[in-house]
């Protein structure tokens, strides 16, 4: 999971350290044995109330070729309701703006807008 500058700052202020790595030009949550460092033995997030923005919007993800989509690898992707979808797309826009600022990342906003319109089209019919 890619972290924004505000994610890192917030978690450090909460007293956490050694929870991220630099990989592929981004700071990412550290994984140990394929699992997020913040998952306990019961696979529950120990920082749920303070989880990073990317975790808050999941299973919404930004795909550079398809735009904003539901992650097909998430077993709960099909159960996301319209209310959560609408909230999620607003948050993912915030995530993308932060990625632009934190990493000088070029977001294809035209693709974002088109993909979001398609994603939420069933919510307003």
Per-residue pLDDT of the chain (125 residues; tens, 9 = 90+): 999 999 999 999 999 999 999 998 999 999 999 899 999 999 999 999 999 999 999 999 999 999 999 999 998 898 999 999 999 999 999 999 999 998 999 999 999 999 999 999 988 76
Give 81-89's long-range contacts (Cβ < 8 A, gap of 24+): 82/120, 82/122, 82/123, 85/60, 85/119, 85/120, 85/123, 86/120, 86/123, 88/57, 88/60, 89/60, 89/116, 89/119, 89/120
At residue 80, the pLDDT reads 92
pTM for the model stands at 0.86
């Amino acid at each position: 999971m890619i972290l924004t500058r505000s994610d890192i700052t917030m978690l450090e202020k909460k007293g956490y350290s050694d929870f991220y790595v630099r990989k592929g030009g981004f700071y990412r949550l550290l994984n140990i044995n394929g699992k997020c460092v913040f998952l306990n033995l019961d696979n529950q997030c120990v920082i749920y109330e303070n989880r990073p923005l990317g975790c808050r919007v999941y299973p919404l993800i930004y795909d550079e070729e398809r735009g904003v989509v539901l992650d097909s690898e998430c077993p709960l992707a099909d159960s996301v309701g319209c209310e959560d979808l609408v909230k999620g797309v607003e948050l993912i826009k915030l995530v993308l703006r932060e990625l632009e600022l934190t990493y000088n990342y070029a977001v294809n906003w035209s693709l974002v807008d088109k993909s979001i319109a398609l994603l939420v089209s069933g919510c307003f019919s």
